[in-house]
Amino acid sequence: MATTTHILGFPRIGEKRELKFALEGYWRGELDLPQLAATGASIRQENWTLQADNQLRFVTAGDFAWYDHVLNMSLLLGHVPQRHRDGDIDMDTLFNIARGQSRQECSCHDGNAASEMTKWFNTNYHYIVPEFSADDTFKVSWSQLFDEVDEAIQQGHQVKPVLLGPLSYLYLGKSVTAEFDRLSLLPQLVIAYQTIVDKLAAQGVAWIQIDEPILALELEPVWLDAFQTAYTQLQRKNKQGSPKLLLTTYFDSITDVLERVTALPVDGLHIDVVSAPQQLDQVSEKLPADWVLSVGVINGRNVWRADLAALLKQLQPLKAQLGERLWIASSCSLLHSPVDLSLETDLSEAMQSWFAFARQKVTELGLLGAALDGDTQAIEACRKYSLPIEQRRASQQVNKPHVRQRVEAINESLATRSLPYQQRAIYQQEALQLPFLPTTTIGSFPQTGEIRKLRRDFRQGHLSESDYKTVLKAHIHEAVERQEALGLDVLVHGEAERNDMVEYFAENLSGFQTTRFGWVQSYGSRCVKPAIIVADIEREKPITVEWSQYAQSLTSKQMKGMLTGPVTILCWTFPREDIPRKTMSQQLALALRDEVADLQSAGIDIIQIDEPAIREGLPLKKRDHQTYLDWAVQSFRIAASSAVPQTQIHTHMCYSEFNEIIESVAALDADVITIETSRSNMELLDAFEAFNYPNEIGPGVYDIHSPNIPSQAWMVELLKKASQAIPAERLWVNPDCGLKTRGWPETEAALRNMVAAAKTLRAHWKAQVIV
């Protein structure tokens, strides 16, 4: 029998983001439910046809979601937050949980808040967090999964449904009632899972993929124990003819818990050997004799062509050992890859031959499966398929000796400012002449339709470079005037030239490739289009200097230069697979270091290096954190350390929870850090206080995600609160994040109040000091 090939899931957005546009049309009331449903059905049909055409043993169902697959699971289990329960569960329930129900939509009460959203492990996908309370019940109530299984069967496919497993579902949720142990819900939850399995059995399903990605975390023993209990209960009724369970893990190794896993009553195990190749030997050795082993060899999270020739060689002995029990698969769901490389007609032929997007990855699996089964044509095809990978390895355009040398020469002194903060602060005070409680913003100003059109026209060649620059400079001029009128102390140029804080640098550094349709779902209808690191990175010419210098020429106030940090650029792009993340981060750091030096020479005395993603890059296992943090911090410091003591380096981060990494945040040694704190009512400052954070801090005093205009009094209160954690001499006054998603009227109103709040406190606190 042929080697079993399958994927853990396929992107649901459609090759040209059809689902996004349909969803947004539906939300605006321009599309009705049948029209939305038709878009979903056609995406699923296309995805399944592709899998069948490539001879995958199963097509995967249950990977399609209108908004999020974790939310699907909640609906399937009839597990809906109390505030969203009014009558039957339907599509509106789904979207209300995901997006909140506004007051306008519902006049009866204040509107029901959306559920929280959080990152899916260490990916850039966000899921809707299930909410658990002590009296929760579960009752299978949403037929989408069963309908889609039927739909696939009717289209003539052998279907393998995917479920998020009960332990991961519980673990990834949060408790909303105090003092209660989520695990107490498990027995009931498993009963609902049993019902689901029974229904799938009745539909004729032979295998179910049950995802338990939390097995790759460092789980507490109670959770591990719960696996045994739950799966025993789930399989209690397992009799002849009922579906088999493939327990699926991904994103990291599970060897820590291998003994626990192999004791579970399931029928097979999937491991991710892309993120953790070292686990393969141990797992295959310890595999129970009647289990299948699904080996995830095709990277679901990146865009690179698989080295099929090498994989074939690696898998052949395993095939000999396991025979039919060897399955091959994508490492994780292909949800995290863009959909179709064949749309990228602008890419050079060489570049085309380096990549594989989701569709191409399915083809790779089909080919690899056939080759493993001894098909000589497929074996030859695998060999040919790997040739560009070898050529690329030898290319000096990819592996640039001069960049390598510079990276090799990195040492501690390159990553250290010439003086410690306390001394730098004295120089900076003298050079910058900033008032007590200086006011500033985080970088971007409203990206109006006009600005977006300007960039689009330039990109599409409808506007000459000089015309583009002239109009852009007019926007910068306007932003500067507005800031001067508001009385801000440290100004910014507004980032009108940037579509996105990472893509802009990717387009202007050598070593990156951007795509036209390489979209990946971030959450709901939102997609991102990460650039790809394709070669050693270098800066061929200054990137931001002209804009910052021009902006500085318009004002006697300080103009803050604005860069995206090395770690954030790395975290928000598709990295190379042939060199370590650390090396790419260091290359970026060196490029940015040169930019810092050039900005400084051009008369920019304050430079912000944004690192909002530094925490996202953390590996899944705590024991791997420090190694990452060490090189991440070093990269930032390399970038910052071309600054002389008089030059003030800022950084900005916008995520919650600094506790875990506060030492590393301090180790960045930025002169000033601006952070998001307003939504937590300054609670996030606790970590800084507890740690006795030594440098200056700008705790965000208002939430830029909301159009509401914060009052002066409100911000005064927040600043007073902040001053209890951080000495006022080291406080800055600024919003939580950049303002690009806001309009000018609300931005100006909010900043006017913010400046007034700072002035009030200056007067108040100065008076207190004099007394």
Helices (H) and strands (E) in the chain, counts: 27, 22
Give the whole-angstrom CA distance, residue 606 versus residue 480.
Answer: 16
Annotated binding-site residue? 382: no
Question: From the CB of 716, what's the least distance to Zn ion, in Å?
Answer: 23
Distance separating alpha carbons of residues 605 and 628, to the nearest angstrom? 30
Listed in order, strand segments (DSSP E) in 557-630 are: 558-564, 606-610
Provide DSSP, 44-82. Answer: HHHHHHHHHHTT-S-EEES---SS-HHHHHHHHTT---G
Out of 442, 480, 673, 718, name the contact with ligand GLN by CB under 6 A.
Answer: 442
Which residue, 562 or 661, is less far from ligand GLN as judged by CB?
Answer: 562
What is the footprint of ligand GLN within residues 614-653 (CB under 6 A)?
652
DSSP H or E run through 175: strand 174-175
CB 168 within 8 A of CB 216: no
State yes or no: 126 annotated in a binding site.
Answer: no
Position 610 contacts ligand GLN (CB under 6 A): yes
**527 annotated binding-site participant:** yes
Torsion of CA 86, 92, 94, 100, to 10 degrees: -80
Q: Which is nearest to 23 in space by CA: 9, 39, 10?
A: 39
Which of the choices ligand GLN, Zn ion, none does residue 740 contact, using the CB cut-off of 5 to 8 A by kind?
A: ligand GLN
How far apart are the C-alpha atoms of 519 and 530, rounded to whole Å? 7
Residue 65's closest CA among 40, 92, 45?
A: 40
676 is in an annotated binding site: yes
442 is in an annotated binding site: yes
Candidate list 23, 297, 341, 654; residue touching ligand GLN; CB under 6 A = 654
Stretch that binds ligand GLN, among 213-221, 441-449, 512-520, 694-702 (CB under 6 A): 441-449
Among ligand GLN, Zn ion, none, residue 443 binds (CB under 5-8 Å by kind): ligand GLN
- Residue 398's binding partner out of Zn ion, ligand GLN, none, with CB under 5 to 8 Å set by partner kind: none
754 binds ligand GLN (CB under 6 A): no
| DSSP SS3 for 243 | coil
Helices 91-99 and 69-76, axial angle in degrees (round to 10)? 130
Least spacing, CB of residue 524 vs ligand GLN, in Å? 19
Asked if 570 is part of the footprint of ligand GLN (rule: CB under 6 A), the reply reads: no
Burial 297-319 (b: 16+ CB within 10 A, else e): bbbbbbbbbbbbbebbeebeebb
Partner whose binding site includes residue 303, from ligand GLN, Zn ion, none (CB under 5 to 8 Å by kind): none
Q: In the 3-class helix/strand/coil scheme, how is 533-565 assigned residue by residue?
A: EEEEEECCCCCCHHHHHHHHHCCCCEEEEEEEC
Kindly write out the interface string for residues 497-516 of this chain, putting x where it contacts ligand GLN by CB under 6 A and - elsewhere. Answer: ----x---------------
From CA 109, how far away is CA 114, in angstroms rounded?
Answer: 15
CB atoms within 10 A of CB 186: 19
Tell whether 24 is in a known binding site: no
364 binds, among Zn ion, ligand GLN, none (CB under 5 to 8 A by kind): none
Instruction: Provide the mask over 321-360, with x wherever binding to ligand GLN is found by CB under 6 A and - wherever it is not.
Output: ----------------------------------------
- Residue ranges in contact with Zn ion by CB under 5 A: 612, 654, 737
Residue 705 bears catalytic tag: yes
Residue 205: contacted member of ligand GLN, Zn ion, none (CB under 5 to 8 Å, by partner type): none
Q: How far is the CB of 429 from ligand GLN (least distance, A)?
A: 24
Q: Considering only residues 444, 515, 585, 634, which one is a binding residue for ligand GLN as defined by CB under 6 A?
A: 444
Region from 191-199, 414-422, 442-450, 471-479 binding ligand GLN, contact rule CB under 6 A: 442-450
Secondary structure (H, E, C), 352-407: HCCECCHHHHHHHHHHHHHHHCCCHHHHHHHHHHHHHHHHHHHCCCCCCHHHHHHH
CB of 740 to ligand GLN, least distance (A): 5
Rounded CA separation 719/724 (Å): 9
Nearest of 230, 221, 225 to residue 169 by alpha carbon: 230
616 marked ligand binding residue: yes
Rounded to a whole number of angstroms, the minimum distance from the CB of residue 711 to ligand GLN is 23
What is the torsional sign of CA 157, 160, 162, 166?
Answer: positive
The DSSP string of 438-507 is -BB--SB----HHHHHHHHHHHTTSS-HHHHHHHHHHHHHHHHHHHHHHT-SEE--B-TT-SSTTHHHHH
User: CB-wise, 300 or 443, nearer to ligand GLN?
Assistant: 443
The one catalytic residue among 475, 493, 705, 764: 705
Q: To the nearest whole angstrom, how small is the minimum distance from the Cβ of residue 600 to Zn ion?
A: 24
Please identify which residue in 11, 268, 443, 446 interacts with ligand GLN, judged by CB under 6 A. Answer: 443
Q: Which is nearer to ligand GLN, 57 or 742 (CB)?
A: 742
Query: Cβ closer to ligand GLN: 52 or 442?
Result: 442
- Smallest distance, Å, CB 561 to ligand GLN? 11
How far is residue 173's CA from residue 158's CA, in Å, rounded to a whole number? 32
378 binds, among ligand GLN, Zn ion, none (CB under 5 to 8 A by kind): none
Chain centroid to CA 110: how far?
32
DSSP-assigned beta bridge partners for residue 610: 564, 652
Q: Which is nearer to Zn ion, 311 or 722 (CB)?
A: 722
- Other C-beta atoms closer than 10 Å to the C-beta of 106 total 13
Closest to 580 (Cα-Cα) out of 570, 572, 592: 570
How many binding residues for ligand GLN (CB under 6 A)? 13
| Burial class of residue 67, CB neighbours in 10 A (0-12, 13-18, 19+) | buried
* 19 scored as a contact of ligand GLN (CB under 6 A): no
Task: Using the minimum distance from each CB to Zn ion, give the nearer residue, 575 or 612.
Answer: 612
State how far Cα 221 lies from the chain centre: 29
From residue 264 to residue 303, what is the string marking binding to ligand GLN with x (rule CB under 6 A)? ----------------------------------------
- Using the rule CB under 6 A, which residue among 612, 617, 710, 735 binds ligand GLN? 612
To the question of whether residue 576 is assigned a binding role by annotation, the answer is no
* Between 331 and 677, CB nearer to ligand GLN: 677
Residue 671 interacting partner from ligand GLN, Zn ion, none (CB closer than 5 to 8 Å by kind): none
Select from ligand GLN, Zn ion, none the partner in contact with residue 444, using the beta carbon and a kind-dependent cut-off of 5 to 8 Å: ligand GLN
Residue 137, CA distances (Å) to 70, 165, 166, 196, 521 in order: 17, 17, 14, 15, 31
Q: Which residue stretch of 87-95, 221-229, 439-447, 553-561 sits at the interface with ligand GLN (rule: CB under 6 A)?
A: 439-447
- Residue 447 or 586: which CB sits closer to ligand GLN? 447
Give the shortest CB-654-to-ligand GLN separation in angstroms.
Answer: 5
Gap between the Cα atoms of 3 and 363, Å rounded: 15
State the sign of the Cα–Cα–Cα–Cα dihedral 550, 554, 558, 560.
Answer: negative
Q: Give the x-and-dash track for 530-569 against ligand GLN (CB under 6 A).
A: --------------------------------x-------
Q: CA nearest 378: which of 362, 391, 361, 366?
A: 366
Binding-site residues from annotation for 5-methyltetrahydropteroyltri-L-glutamate: 17-20, 119, 526-527, 572, 616
Q: Name the site residues for ligand GLN (rule: CB under 6 A).
A: 442-444, 495, 501, 562, 610, 612, 652, 654, 737-738, 740
Show which residues are catalytic. Answer: 705
Binding-site residues from annotation for L-methionine: 442-444, 495, 610
Binding-site residues from annotation: 17-20, 119, 442-444, 495, 526-527, 572, 610, 616, 652, 654, 676, 737
Binding-site residues from annotation for Zn(2+): 652, 654, 676, 737
